[in-house]
Structure 1
Amino acid sequence: MTEVNDAVLHSGGWVEGHTLLSNIATVFKLELPVKGLQVLADKLEPLEVRLDEESRETVAKVTGTAGDPSVEIRVTLNVTFIHDEPDLRRAVPAVPG
């Protein structure tokens, strides 16, 4: 997660928030300039965070047709972790009432 955050920062953007889905996935809410979208995609590749075909096509379309490249856009990045570990379980205390 730190490496993804660093890639976003180096792309000129920032992480607005994230949601952890057990140890299976994380959803990042990002904001970055249009010109940083391809930079982010390129920086994610060495981290083995690979965009699917539809996402790569969208990056190409947005960066190729957007007017002002400094305009900021909101992006959601869903990262699914591939591993053999069991689902993360947490005890949730009962709330009286």
Structure 2
Amino acid sequence: MLMLSAVTRANRHGVMREIDDAAVSCGGWIEGHTLFSNVAATFRFVLPAGGLEAFAARIAAAGLQLDGAGLAALSKRVASAAADDELPGALAVTFVHDEPDLRREIPAVPG
């Protein structure tokens, strides 16, 4: 599995939409995501090997700064796979902002 990590100061709602759009436009899809308050999110995706570099370019254009280890792993996977191979991956995004922690009320379960 390809593991990518990125940091951004951009609005998290717009970034999450851009990640989804980038995956779909590159021939892949988002399998799921996990939100960690308003500080971080992890996206699980599947992309054809031929779309990985375009995916990285699209998310960079959206304001995400990928780390060096992720970029190196991405280049290695692109070089070793056929263009139409479907490759699973994960993208961990950290949102840098000065907003307070997002809290959600969890209703009490009777019983």
Whether TM exceeds 0.5 here: the answer is yes
Greater fraction of residues in strand: 2
Match of 1:50 among 59, 65, 74: 65
Please tell me whether Structure 1 or Structure 2 has the larger radius of gyration of its CA atoms: 1
Q: Which residue of 2 aligns with 1:80?
A: 94
Deviation for aligned residue 1:90: 1.0
Q: Deviations over 1:30-84 (max 9, x none)?
A: 0110111111001111111121010000011110122x21010111011111110
| Structural mapping, 1:1-97, within 5 Å | 1-66=16-81, 68-97=82-111
Deviation for aligned residue 1:9: 1.0
By relative contact order (CA 8 Å, sep 6+), the higher-ranking structure is 2
Aligned-residue CA RMSD (Å): 0.9
Q: Distance in 2 between matches of 1:5 and 1:33?
A: 15
**What TM-score comes out, normalization by structure 2 length?**
0.82
Q: Distance in 2 between matches of 1:74 and 1:80?
A: 20
Q: What runs of 5+ residues in structure 2 fail to find an aligned partner?
A: 1-15
Query: Hey, which bits of structure 1, 4+ residues long, moved more than 3 A?
Result: none
Deviation for aligned residue 1:96: 2.3
Q: What runs of 5+ residues in structure 1 fail to find an aligned partner?
A: none
